[in-house]
Structure 1
Amino acid sequence: MIQSSESPERIRELLRRNLQEVFGEGDAQRRRAAINDLWTNDAVLYAPPGIVEGQDAIGEFAGKLRATHPHFVYTPHGAPQVLHNAGRLAWGSGPHGEEAEYTGWDVIVVRDGRIAALYVFLDEATAEFRRSADGQS
């Protein structure tokens, strides 16, 4: 049986820091520094709008997403879970001190102590919120 060489604590750290320092960060330079520390050079982000490849594109995507709701904060819902070289974290996002307007899960695959892939799952209520915000039914 093959065992993962990835540290469970590092995977938990990556999940927590990515949520706050990449997707929750409004300053482009701080966000970029976090991406350099947390993500592999060839990382891939799988998110509802599509697939984003590479650190530069991930930083641009995170910045554009952040600009759509600069007053929102990301709040972990529970503790990160780790399995071999992967981890997941449930989260919510909304105005500070208020109920989350949308929720989801981040699932990461880790290679050499850094995020190689991130899969973002939005909860169904979030999909309904997004469709109604876009004027779709």
Structure 2
Amino acid sequence: MTESVPTAEELLGRMISGVFNEPDPQRRGSVIAEVFTEDVVFSDAERTVTGQRALADTVSGLLAQGPGFVFVPEGPYRGVADLGMRAWRLGPPGGDPVLGGLDVAQVVDGRIAHLWTVLDG
């Protein structure tokens, strides 16, 4: 039986639920190990970090800035070749978003190798 390789769309969905919306650092770390390459590169307007540990630390810092806020996918998934794109909004559950952006992921061998986050406006 051949195991299927996750698509960029599946990886981005798992990333939002299991990484950016996961408050428990151990569970978050397990999902990071499944979804991202060991030498993943994460880039946003403020930083570029390399490696799963650096990504985990970055996510912990981001989550601390908006405790209780959740990321919600916005609009359709878009992708071409090894790139996947998903817009999102961040805010209190059921409330108005306070921030939005677009994640762009490059997938290599079924895992995210590079993740760019572009914030709205």
Q: Shorter-chain TM-score category? A: over 0.9
Size of the aligned set, in residue pairs, is: 118
Q: Contact conserved, 2:6 with 2:110, CA < 8 A, in 1?
A: no
Higher strand share: 2
Moved over 6 A (4+): none
Q: When the two structures are superposed, what TM-score results if normalisation uses the length of structure 1?
A: 0.82
State the Cα RMSD in Å. 1.4
Is structure 2 residue 71 aligned with structure 1 residue 74? yes
Q: When the two structures are superposed, what TM-score results if normalisation uses the length of structure 2?
A: 0.93
Partner amino acid, structure 1, of 2:20: F
User: How far apart in 1 are the matches of 2:88 and 2:47?
Assistant: 20
Tell me the CA shift for residue 48 of structure 1.
Answer: 1.6
Q: Percent identity?
A: 38
> 2:108 — aligned with what?
111
Q: Contact conserved, 1:8 with 1:82, CA < 8 A, in 2?
A: no
Q: Compare CA radii of gyration and give the structure with the larger one.
A: 1
> 2:54 — aligned with what?
57
**Secondary structure class of the residue paired with 2:75:** coil
Could you report, residue by residue, the CA deviation over 1:30-80 in whole angstroms, capped at 9, with x for unpaired residues? 100000000001110001211011000000100111111121011100121
- Unaligned runs of 5+ residues in structure 2 are none
